[in-house]
Chain A
């Protein structure tokens, strides 16, 4: 914790800011990209959201109270940015978020930055059927291998509720894949 405080101080100090932010990028850009990409599905959209996420992180570092870990705080910003992005995109195109997500899954086959087969497409379609919160929990647990405690810090939900949520999500996904 002391180490993290020192790191945040170096992020705020103009003399050490450059080096510290590069370290932050090096450490978090890949996991945050994967987290965002799992939500928005498309690479270009993920790229935009990742940039917005780091810009917000930079702008709000002064307001970071240290009540949660830097890791959780950044994941929370990334999650909010990705969900906001999807809602805005759905509003602009005049379709619902579910329809937008199904459209994005259909486009995956032609996506040069998607190297998946039928089972991966089917899994994405099964996830799209879940409520938003269950989707998030499933993706963070199954694809990103985050611990329940970490997901709890990010989403502000108890570990017990998350376990139940993941359990329900798995059952629904298995049922969808079995019947489709």
Chain B
């Protein structure tokens, strides 16, 4: 009987094989199972103009604000009431009313605006008559 000696024989391998691409697939599958964050493939680009860009953006923002503030202020403070001069001009040029008709249009409760003071001092009347050169005309008209 031949005695078997491991050292005398060529090395015997285990004979174990693996499926094709087993180790490549094993790595990929295992990495998906483990709670490891994937590495981002995109390289982060840091712009050398970033600092200057911020300055430009800040300047642009200030400019926009400077332009917008007066516009906004004017928009808020627009007076929708017609001033007296404009109203007078309009009534003079655009209507056929004379001053007497205009007085007639004023409602009775507002008539005290143009009514003379009810109690006039004698001295006041004298002063008015003395300083008014057209007193005669006024007396005739009334």
Asked if B14 and A30 make an inter-chain contact with CB atoms under 8 angstroms apart, the answer reads no
Asked if A43 and B4 make an inter-chain contact with CB atoms under 8 angstroms apart, the answer reads no
Is the CB of B27 closer than 8 A to any CB of chain A? yes
Per-residue interface assignment for chain B, residues 1 to 39, with 1 indicating a CB less than 8 Å from any chain A CB and 0 otherwise = 111111000001111111100110011011101101111
* Contact of A120 (CB < 8 Å), options: B5, B15, B23: B15
Contacts of B3 in A (CB 8 A): 174, 178
* Contact of B23 (CB < 8 Å), options: A22, A29, A179: A29
Asked if A18 and B37 make an inter-chain contact with CB atoms under 8 angstroms apart, the answer reads yes
Q: Please report the total number of A residues contacting B with Cβ < 8 Å.
A: 39
Min CB–CB distance B136 → chain A (angstroms): 107
Closest to B10 in A: A119
Asked if A26 and B27 make an inter-chain contact with CB atoms under 8 angstroms apart, the answer reads yes
Q: A142-B6, A178-B2, A178-B3 are in contact. Are A33 and B31 (CB under 8 A)?
A: no
Contacts of A152 in B (CB 8 A): none
SS of A interface (majority): helix
Asked if A25 and B39 make an inter-chain contact with CB atoms under 8 angstroms apart, the answer reads no
Is the CB of A94 closer than 8 A to any CB of chain B? no
Asked if A33 and B23 make an inter-chain contact with CB atoms under 8 angstroms apart, the answer reads yes
Q: State the B residues within 8 Å of A (CB).
A: 1-6, 12-19, 22-23, 26-27, 29-31, 33-34, 36-39
Q: State the A residues within 8 Å of B (CB).
A: 14, 17-19, 21-22, 25-26, 29-30, 33-34, 37-38, 41, 43, 47, 50-51, 54-55, 58, 108, 113-117, 119-120, 123, 142-143, 170, 173-174, 177-179
